[in-house]
Structure 1
Amino acid sequence: MTTFSSPLLVFTVRRREPVLVAPAKPTPYEWKELSDIDDQEALRFQIPAIQFYRRYESSNGSPRGDPARVIREAVAKALVFYYPLAGRLREGSGRKLIVECTGEGVLFIEADADVTLDHFGHALQPPYPCLEELLYDVPGSSGILHCPLILIQVTRLKCGGFIFALRVNHTMCDGIGLVQFMNAVAEIARGAQLLSLPPVWQRNLLKARVPPRITCTHVEYDEVADTKGTIITQEEMAHRSFFFGPNALNAIRRLVPQHLQAHYTTIELLTACLWRCRTIALQLDPEEDVRMVFIVNARSKFNPPLPAGYYGNAFAFPMAVSKAGTICEKHFVYTVELLRKAKASVTEEYMKSVADLMVIKGRPHITVVRTFLVSDLTRMGFQDVDFGWGKPKYCGSAKGGVDALPGVVSFYTPFKTSSGDDGIIVPICLPVVAMERFVEELEGFLKFGNNCPEVAGPSKVDAKSSYIFRSSL
């Protein structure tokens, strides 16, 4: 039993002992190599996700049942199809990761909390100060090798709702692959016997060539020394979430000349805005390079595209690089164009070149020195995962600045406010003083966009457009 206490929320969680959930039927014992895109240092960490669900009642008013039992049984059945996830990772020569398909299973925790969903209020966004209570880190479970590949906790709430929290070894799948597995569990929980999208392993499709050859430029894997101590630990970080509604996003778009506005996506403009505000807030030497990574799903870049159902990592880390002073001083369009050029560099040849680079250079980590990395979860489908209780109230990444990349990563998550406004939540991690400057710069940026004369319109930036949900220092 553990108790979480904050000025706005106090509750106690009672957990049962963690159990291993094995596949419901016998599965093949075999060894499966990961791809050389899976097998890079930057993915050797655990990534958490969380979903909040309301109470479900049928037309006659009866509850659906125990979500922990329903989901646990569905996980066992889903693992028959996704049996590599029930195995354990081993490391071969050249640090090559291989799954031993042992069928041991994934970790599952059943818990109860003496709180209702409504009591969470604004705590229904990252960063979650209560994440440790809702996704217990079972001792010895968080390594990369010889550990369960997935940890799930289902926490029942007093109101009849529940919280589904999950942690996955990132080398096994990316966000799209994770949602695919979650949907498989959800389909079975709702009564399906077969999956609408069967899983595809085929990691050989992203395996290094023989002989390997680096044919593209990959500045994201350059070795960059942190000579000025710009990498900050999690303990020194301020964590805040920002909501961008339609008005705020329109204000950002108005900063682009009218003839170019239809040329850029909302996500590109938002990313450029955050990179610029973040760079200004950090007050770096104007001559220092700053880096922006926008994760690109490469499934459609192949000819033919990777098969539907492929649940391995199939994305790239294209990087835009510029002098800090240039980002701060040049027109906003300059920053957007840098991002677009980096994104456009991702091709089938680019992905093959990355796989080869992993083998040639010993699976290097992407550089995190003066780097900001963004992952867009808004179209991955977290918000559609329905275990039979309806769609989640909140869904997606559990926090920004994940442990392997402290202060570097932000996830874009779809969100609907209590007043019905649709938008995007973005968790940001920055040093405390820099966070204060970031907030000030962002507010000024939005106000300037709101008043920009290039596009007429009555829309105003207000409390519903962009605001800080909560800070946790």
Structure 2
Amino acid sequence: MSSSSMFNFRVHRCQPELVQPAAPTPHEIKLLSDIDNQECLRFYFPMIFMYHHEPSMTKKDPVKVLRHALSQTLVYYYPFAGRIREGAGGKLMVDCNGEGVMFIEAEADTTLDQFGDSLHPPFPWFQQLLDDDVHGTQQIIDHPILLMQVTRLKCGGFIVSLNINHTISDATGLKQFMNAWAEMARGAHQPSIQPIWHRELLMARNPPHVTCNHREFEQIILPPNTVKKEDATTIVHQSFVFTPAHVAAIRCLVPIHLRQCTAFDLITACFWCCRTKALQLEPNEEVRMIYTVNARSRLNANQSSLVGYYGNCSAFPVAVTSAGNLICGNPLGYAVELIKNAKAQVTEEYMHSLADLSVIKERCIYNTIRSCVVSDMTRAKYENVNFGWGAAVYGGVVKGGAGPLPGATFIVPHKNAKEGLILLITCLPYEDMKRFAEELDKMFGNQNQPTTSGPSFVMSSL
């Protein structure tokens, strides 16, 4: 266990305050899209951004700079300052009333260097920087859409922690908001990309009609009195480092015609196979890989009309097979092919069909039994959010798991991303996590080429 797990520090928080738009904004009701409206997005998603001291900014207080810039940014992103309401049939909307976002000023008795190895997920001390159990529940109705804490550090650096209501934005939309906020903090008079609402792009058709197969919503019926393993054991969160040598080793394990696939596809396939072995399932048991796909480039609408769109525009296609097919007698390329085929399902018609399904079935729930969700956060480049203190040491997700998707796994840049390092952040029951790490070591240990040792635990458990 890393010594960073023993690291303790104290944080003094001021009373929460509401930051409102710096100028009058429209008071109106805005409907969320039927993609935004999905049950699986009704939760707060925690993020963290960590910054070193910047000598040229010594005379500036990050709390004051960020608070002022936030109020200016909310003039353009005024729905963030509103409240989510629920209408007939569970339809969500934003009451753009300008009440504001929740902002907490704080001070910690530590420096950034004292965090040591814990400058990337999972963060065992995150609740000191922002309680991720918002309001004691995951209740999203009638509460601030965005909650944040800016914590000064003794070294002159600071940490921005936030919880965002996922129904209003996906990863791409949040990055757009963060960039706008950072631009205002650096002195801009308006965001370089103007936000657009346009949620009608992903509303259900009239009449709605499902034209695609959405297996991510298929529900598996367990035998009576079955206790899911995660309900009876301790779930731990861990990060695993993949080096360029690891990715190259995985690439050598797949057929030549698949070797042009992305590092994300390769790591995801490796993760799926090793995770399935670790779970010790029966060969005939069905396993699923749910894959997050940003669908913006797949919409036939004029792409320039999507610039500035910050709503949810992601799909979660699923690859389905049996545990036996995945781990017995099939090369890693089998998993890669399943994943690539799942990604290819996402078209504009798929997105409209998904919106229609969410209306017809009302509150569709993703199947989480023997399922895992993997999301690529490397392309969002959250570490590039610059409030004037330079790039973040780390910017992105806090841990594995996400709201109603307890098995969510994220692939993010390592703090040494310039060296090509990638982090896989996941969560599993304790014994399964140990076996998962062993399976990763076996996969890389069997390669007859000079690689570093297989991925290993780099953080303490949460």
Q: What band does the TM-score fall into relative to the shorter chain?
A: over 0.9
Question: What pairs up with 1:190-205 in 2 under 5 angstroms?
Answer: 190-205=186-201
The offset of 1:231, in angstroms, is: 5.7
* Structure 1 residue aligned with 2:306: 307
Amino acid at match of 2:15: E
* Structure 2 residue aligned with 1:23: 21
Q: Structure 2, unaligned stretches of length 5 or more? A: none
Matching residue within 112, 116, 138 for 1:117: 112
* Structure 1 residue aligned with 2:444: 446
Question: What pairs up with 1:322-361 in 2 under 5 angstroms?
Answer: 322-329=321-328, 330-361=330-361
* Structure 2 residue aligned with 1:455: none
Task: Find the residue that maps to 2:9 and give its secondary structure.
Answer: strand
Task: Find the residue that maps to 1:11 and give its secondary structure.
Answer: coil
1:462 corresponds to 2:452: yes
d(CA) in 1 for partners of 2:138, 2:347: 33
Q: Does the CA-based 8 Å contact 1:244-1:467 persist in structure 2?
A: no
* Structure 2 residue aligned with 1:292: 289
Matching residue within 63, 66, 78 for 1:83: 78
Matching residue within 30, 33, 47 for 1:32: 30
* Percentage identity across paired residues of the two chains: 49
Q: Does the CA-based 8 Å contact 1:395-1:413 persist in structure 2?
A: no
The offset of 1:417, in angstroms, is: 3.5
Amino acid at match of 2:259: A
Task: Find the residue that maps to 2:365 and give its secondary structure.
Answer: coil
* Structure 2 residue aligned with 1:413: 412
Of 132-141 and 12-21, more deviation after overlay is shown by: 132-141
d(CA) in 2 for partners of 1:381, 1:220: 27
CA separation of 1:139 and 1:353: change in aligned 2, threshold 3 A: closer
* Structure 2 residue aligned with 1:274: 271
Amino acid at match of 1:283: Q
CA deviations 1:378-437 (Å, max 9, x no partner) are 01120110000000011110111124222x10111111339x633111111111111111
d(CA) in 2 for partners of 1:64, 1:138: 33
d(CA) in 2 for partners of 1:235, 1:169: 29
User: TM-score normalised to the size of structure 2?
Assistant: 0.95
The offset of 1:292, in angstroms, is: 0.2
* Structure 1 residue aligned with 2:55: 57
Question: What pairs up with 1:106-145 in 2 under 5 angstroms?
Answer: 106-136=101-131, 139=135, 142-145=138-141
CA deviations 1:51-85 (Å, max 9, x no partner) are 11000112xxx615111110011111100000011
d(CA) in 1 for partners of 2:50, 2:69: 18
* Structure 1 residue aligned with 2:178: 182
d(CA) in 1 for partners of 2:344, 2:232: 32
CA deviations 1:354-401 (Å, max 9, x no partner) are 000000001211111111101101011201100000000111101111
* Structure 2 residue aligned with 1:371: 371
User: TM-score normalised to the size of structure 1?
Assistant: 0.93
* Structure 2 residue aligned with 1:319: 318
d(CA) in 2 for partners of 1:107, 1:239: 28
The offset of 1:310, in angstroms, is: 0.3
Q: Does the CA-based 8 Å contact 1:33-1:97 persist in structure 2?
A: yes
d(CA) in 1 for partners of 2:168, 2:79: 9
Q: Does the CA-based 8 Å contact 1:35-1:204 persist in structure 2?
A: yes
d(CA) in 1 for partners of 2:368, 2:160: 31
Amino acid at match of 2:383: Q
The offset of 1:226, in angstroms, is: 3.7
Q: What is the total number of aligned residue pairs between the two structures? A: 454
Q: State the superposition RMSD in angstroms.
A: 1.8
Q: Does the CA-based 8 Å contact 2:4-2:118 persist in structure 1?
A: no
CA separation of 1:54 and 1:154: change in aligned 2, threshold 3 A: same
1:390 corresponds to 2:385: no
Amino acid at match of 2:421: G
Q: Does the CA-based 8 Å contact 1:214-1:357 persist in structure 2?
A: yes
Q: Does the CA-based 8 Å contact 2:122-2:238 persist in structure 1?
A: yes
Q: Structure 1, unaligned stretches of length 5 or more? A: 452-458
* Structure 1 residue aligned with 2:6: 8
d(CA) in 1 for partners of 2:183, 2:247: 35
d(CA) in 1 for partners of 2:66, 2:404: 29
